[in-house]
């Protein structure tokens, strides 16, 4: 891209928004007024940016007339072109123009619009409120999930067009094309040094909406996360399959990040992570960490996983097991001497193993369970539970480690017997979910009603 003219630091933020602008441009040679209608790409209280199919000299003055969304009055202003850029489109030029004459009330109206549609303001609010998620829903104010509870913000409702404008600010041309074609888009952005956002764009009833997951880029320690020492033992393994399971939003990615960082600090390994999108960003310590994002660095988890076997890995992390080919390759890798750590959506250990097998056709179930019984080293199931006094949610865990009895149960498809093994396996560092939750009740951190809600088995302890 070629650029003519200065690119000065902005005093005010800008918003991406499409507004029709009627431009009157004086032709110095013919002394005539040329009229053009252009569509803005962004606007701020300082000026506007638009694309046009002809080049104008720097310093050209433009008389502009336009109307802001939801406004009943037109704005008349004088602009001066201060920057010209070539674009990827043939015979299209990007024009940046500043306001050299505009009424104070009109500038204030633009300022209010920019403040309202500034996505950074919402992301900053999410961080300040210590929220885990931000939801943008059509015809509703922004909604935050704070310590597990949804909180509607005291703000005006967003229209479908306004949500589109908000999302336009954080997506590039390729991402917009993908979203238009598939109606789904997952990606991540780095907000500042400490915070990233994982973003899912989707449609509901034909309208664009979005869910933002806040990720603190500081990788928490095992102690900070209250993870059992047994999870450290699993991270220190040299081979086999380790499954981190739990419902959506239960901290699986955070636990895996702590495991990866432990390996990074202790061993000279090659670690390949397959993610959609990348959430935590690692810095190489003793290990080499290759982070690959599905949709950017590779086409799919299954393709990337097969490719990773040729990248001299010691540890492979799979952020999502979403098809038979990915599961099959993960099992082969675990059987072949790699440590494979996977994230999987399941509410408990039985369902984690059962769902792994159910990804395949029913006639393959026995074969898959036999493979799992040989390579599985452990399953960690997580829940995040709101404490009685409010604040950050508490991590409850269930842990099963494979021994001869567990392998036999999995191989023979007798998964209903696993809870008994877990209950009696405390001496082997296994832990039942009910025991983890019971511990929080005894310490007065959660009440019995909450404990029963998250664990049906807890009812036996309150009779």
Q: For the residues 31-48, what does the mean pLDDT come to?
A: 90
pLDDT of residue 11: 52
Between β-strands 376-385 and 195-204, what pairing exists: parallel, antiparallel or unpaired?
A: unpaired
Q: What percent of the chain has pLDDT over 90?
A: 71
What is the CATH class of 118-216?
A: alpha beta
Q: For the residues 122-133, what does the mean pLDDT come to?
A: 94
Confidence category of residue 12, pLDDT binned at 50, 70, 90: low
pLDDT of residue 134: 97
Confidence category of residue 463, pLDDT binned at 50, 70, 90: low
**What average pLDDT does the structure give for the chain?**
91
Q: What is the pTM of this model?
A: 0.75
Cα-based angle 336, 341, 343 (whole degrees, multiple of 5): 135
pLDDT digits (tens, 9 = 90+) for 363-420: 999 999 999 999 999 999 999 999 988 788 999 999 999 999 999 999 999 999 999 9
Decide yes or no: CATH 2.40.10.220 for domain 3-105.
Answer: yes
Q: For the residues 14-25, what does the mean pLDDT come to?
A: 90
Q: Give the closest residue to 333 by CA, choosing from 352, 313, 348.
A: 313
Number of helical (H) and strand (E) elements in the chain, helices listed first: 15, 21
pLDDT of residue 86: 83
pLDDT digits (tens, 9 = 90+) for 270-303: 999 999 888 888 999 999 999 999 888 998 999 9
pLDDT of residue 267: 96
**What 3-state class would DSSP assign to 285?**
coil
Structure tokens at 284: 């190489």
Strand-pairing partners, residue 207, are 204
pLDDT digits (tens, 9 = 90+) for 72-111: 899 999 999 999 988 777 778 999 999 999 999 999 999 9
pLDDT of residue 396: 95
pLDDT of residue 296: 84
C-alpha 128/C-alpha 122 separation (Å) is 10
Structure tokens at 196: 């990233």
**What 3-state class would DSSP assign to 353?**
helix
Whether residue 305 has pLDDT greater than 80? yes
Can you tell me which residue has the tokens 């802001």?
Answer: 68
Q: For the residues 132-159, what does the mean pLDDT come to?
A: 94
Instruction: Give residues with Cβ within 8 angstroms of 173, minimum separation 6.
Output: 88
Whether residue 460 has pLDDT greater than 80? no
C-alpha 425/C-alpha 420 separation (Å) is 8
Domain borders along the chain are: 3-105, 118-216, 222-461
Whether residue 169 has pLDDT greater than 50? yes
C-beta of residue 320 within 8 angstroms of C-beta of residue 301? yes
C-beta of residue 374 within 8 angstroms of C-beta of residue 407? yes
Give CA 68 to chain center in angstroms.
32
Q: For the residues 136-154, what does the mean pLDDT come to?
A: 94
51 phi and psi, to 5 degrees? -115, 145
Q: What percent of the chain has pLDDT over 70?
A: 96
Ranges 201-205, 360-364, 374-378, 457-461: which has the least confidence: 457-461
pLDDT of residue 9: 47
pLDDT digits (tens, 9 = 90+) for 340-373: 999 999 989 999 999 999 999 999 999 999 999 9
Q: For the residues 109-120, what does the mean pLDDT come to?
A: 91
Whether residue 168 has pLDDT greater than 90? no
Task: Looking at 148-228, list the stretches that DSSP marks H as alpha helix, in order from N- to C-terminal side.
Answer: 160-168, 173-182, 222-225
In a 13 Å sphere around the CA of 406, the CA atoms on its Cβ side amount to 25
Q: Give the closest residue to 225 by CA, choosing from 104, 397, 407, 345.
A: 397
Structure tokens at 456: 């049906």
pLDDT digits (tens, 9 = 90+) for 307-343: 999 999 999 999 988 889 999 999 999 999 999 999 9
pLDDT of residue 6: 52
Considering the segment(s) 222-461 as one domain, its CATH architecture is: 3-Layer(aba) Sandwich (3.40)
């Amino acid at each position: 891209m070629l650029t003519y003219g200065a690119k000065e630091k902005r005093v005010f933020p800008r918003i991406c928004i499409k507004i029709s602008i009627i431009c009157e441009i004086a032709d110095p040679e013919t002394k005539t007024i040329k009229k053009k209608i252009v569509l803005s790409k962004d606007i701020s209280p300082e000026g506007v940016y638009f694309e046009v199919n002809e080049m104008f000299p720097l310093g050209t003055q433009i008389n502009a007339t336009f109307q802001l969304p939801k406004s009943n009055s037109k704005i008349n202003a004088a602009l001066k072109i201060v920057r010209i850029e070539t674009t990827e489109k043939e015979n299209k030029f990007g024009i940046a123009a500043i306001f050299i004459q505009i009424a104070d009330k009109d500038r204030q109206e633009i300022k209010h619009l920019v403040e309202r549609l500034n996505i950074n303001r919402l992301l900053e609010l999410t961080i300040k409120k210590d929220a885990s998620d931000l939801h943008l829903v059509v015809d509703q104010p922004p909604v935050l999930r704070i310590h597990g509870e949804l909180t509607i913000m005291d703000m005006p409702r967003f229209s479908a067009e306004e949500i589109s404008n908000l999302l336009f600010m954080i997506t590039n041309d390729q991402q917009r094309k993908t979203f238009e074609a598939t109606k789904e888009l997952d990606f991540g952005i780095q907000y500042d040094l400490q915070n990233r956002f994982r973003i899912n764009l989707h449609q509901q009833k034909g309208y664009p909406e979005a869910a933002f997951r806040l990720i603190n880029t500081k990788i928490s320690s095992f102690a900070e996360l209250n993870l059992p020492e047994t999870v450290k033992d699993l991270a220190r393994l040299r081979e086999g399959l380790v499954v981190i399971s739990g419902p959506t939003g239960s901290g699986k990615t955070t636990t895996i990040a702590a495991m990866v960082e432990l390996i990074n600090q202790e061993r000279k390994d090659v670690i390949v992570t397959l993610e959609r999108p990348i959430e935590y960003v690692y810095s190489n310590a003793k290990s080499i960490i290759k982070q690959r994002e599905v949709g950017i660095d590779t086409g799919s988890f299954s393709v990337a996983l097969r490719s990773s076997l040729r990248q001299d890995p010691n540890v492979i992390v799979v952020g999502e097991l979403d098809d038979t080919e990915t599961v099959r390759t993960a099992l082969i890798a675990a059987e072949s001497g790699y440590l494979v750590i996977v994230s999987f959506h399941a509410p408990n250990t039985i369902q984690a193993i059962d769902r792994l097998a159910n990804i395949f056709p029913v006639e393959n179930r026995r074969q898959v369970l036999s493979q799992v019984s040989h390579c599985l080293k452990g399953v960690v199931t997580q829940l995040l539970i709101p404490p009685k006094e409010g604040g950050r949610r508490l991590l409850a865990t269930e842990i099963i480690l494979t021994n001869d009895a567990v392998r036999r149960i999995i191989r023979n498809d007798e998964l209903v017997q696993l809870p008994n093994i877990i209950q009696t396996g405390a001496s082997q560092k296994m832990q039942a979910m009910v025991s983890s939750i019971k511990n929080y009740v005894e310490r007065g951190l959660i009440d019995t009603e909450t404990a029963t809600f998250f664990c049906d088995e807890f009812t036996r302890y309150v009779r």
